[in-house]
Amino acid sequence: MIVGCGPAGIFTALELSEKSDLSILMFEKGLDIRDRKCPALTSGFCSKQCKPCNLLNGWGGAGAFSDGKLILSPDVGGWLTDYVPREELENLVKYVDTFYRKFGVPDKIYGGDGDFIEDIRRRAVLAGLNFIPMTLRHMGTDKANSVLEAARRYLNKRVEVKFRTEVAKVLVENGKSVGVETSDGEVYRAKYVVLAPGRSGAEWLQREARRFQLGLENNPIDLGVRVEVPAAVMEPLTNALYEPKFQFYSKSFDDMVRVFCVCPQGEVITEIYDDVLTVNGQSYSEKKTDNTNFAVLVSVSFTEPFKEPIAYGKYIARLANIIGGGVIIQRLGDLKNGRRSTEDRINRSIVKPTLKNATPGDLSFVLPYRYLTDILEMLEALDKLTPGVFSNHTLLYGVEVKFYSARIKLDRNLETDIKNLYVAGDGAGITRGLMQASVSGVIVARSILAREGIKTDT
């Protein structure tokens, strides 16, 4: 049984169905890929009427409406090197990449120009930034959808999928997983259970881990804003790298701040986690805007007795929703001058917002001083590398939160202390991107195959 039909769940099913005749049942609380529609993507307004949110739930998980980046560098997009050797992870990435290409991912690779990479690295150091080189393929939100549809068709007759079915709890007997119970009270039994609920299911997974007293380790909390600038400002980087990644340690607090999820000529969108509205970004392979957006996230690791990273992130996001009635937008110049943005000031900005229903306001009433200071210092450093980022016209949307669950104690096969109970993907706090989430599913599947005495090509 596989709980969740995001990349981790899909690739667990792909590997198992390719290499065995095991019976596979998948549970997904959302809809099938062809039925997933997000009203906010067309109207610009999230009514919070989709239960659960179609943007985050359903076949393909949140990745179905993501920017569709497949990062081919093993050191980016998760923490799987904590479980498998780097060389093995490299081979797994290549293996998963062949599947994605078979399903229609474009062949073009970004980030392979060595001379350009070295020049950016040198200039980044002078600006106080750590440049993280990587290679990637880009699908775009539209192409990602069709790729996931191809995967769905491929698995259609190989696995059984129960949509609109929410798993309430895992069933364990004598220290071994034996199945699951749904929210409707239905019980399903199986020899192996794989939990891959994605970020939207991270809180549930954390509760189940505590119920069984599984070891938990807090991941850093990633909290910040979505930044929007004219596309021309970022083009020297995005044309060659597509997604440039930079880290910065703030001068005031020595916090790690990072640029994440760059969407060249893309648009800012909303996401809803339970009752909390947050922001994200996406870009398409065909449709283009005049702007580029990216997240600036502050990563802070809390210590004992703190145990609720998701609750903390939701608290900050909920505060923005209370003050702004949803997402808040603010000109960088207004934030620097200590005043709220107004509709008139937004209209006079050089950068025209791609998210139309954000409320002009003041992010200093939402984000703690420490976070705002870190973000401003990062943007000022980035401006030395790409002039125009620290402009008064730059737009900031708040808040953006990455809900990574506390990481469950796992062995190298991603198996918990409960025999035959595995976890995979972003919801487990071990990955944070399409590629590593997919790879985690393959790792789990190969462990199950080995336990069944089935040899693989590893």
Q: Tell me, what's the pLDDT at 405?
A: 63
Q: Give the pLDDT confidence score for residue 275 in this predicted structure.
A: 82
| In a shared domain, residues 185 and 317 | no
Whether 265 and 153 share a structural domain: no
Alpha helices by DSSP H, 212-367: 231-241, 309-324, 332-336, 343-347
Is residue 155 in a domain? yes
Is the distance from CB of 218 to CB of 406 less than 8 angstroms? Answer: yes
Judge whether 120 lies within some domain: no
Going by C-alpha positions, the residue among 109, 126, 401, 130 that lies closest to residue 258 is 130
279 and 423: one domain? no
Domain assignment of residue 417, yes or no: yes
Are 378 and 259 found together in one domain?
Answer: yes
Residue 398: the pLDDT is 92
**Structural domain contains residue 412:** yes
Residue 286 lies in a domain: yes
Residue-level pLDDT at 396: 98
- Is the residue at 115 inside a domain? no
Q: What is the CATH number of the domain that holds 73?
A: 3.50.50.60
Stretches where the chain sits below pLDDT 50 are: none
The string of pLDDT tens digits covering residues 308-350 is: 777 888 899 999 999 999 999 999 999 999 999 999 999 999 9
Same domain for 320 and 382: yes
The string of pLDDT tens digits covering residues 373-392 is: 999 999 999 999 999 999 99
- Residues 332 and 270 both lie in one domain: yes
Q: Judge whether 116 lies within some domain.
A: no
Q: Is 127 inside any structural domain?
A: no
What is the domain range of residue 318? 221-402
pLDDT at res. 309: 76
CA 367 – CA 1 distance, rounded (Å): 41
For the chain, what is the domain count? 2
Q: Given 402, 426, 442, which residue is the final one in a domain? A: 402
Q: Tell me what pLDDT residue 51 has.
A: 82
- Regarding whether 380 and 427 lie in a shared domain, the answer is no
d(CA 220, CA 179): 31
**34 in the same domain as 20:** yes
From the number of C-beta atoms within 10 Å of its C-beta (0-12, 13-18, 19+), residue 226 rates as buried
The pair phi, psi for residue 215, each rounded to 5°, is -65, 135
Q: Tell me, what's the pLDDT at 221? A: 79
Whether 277 and 245 share a structural domain: yes
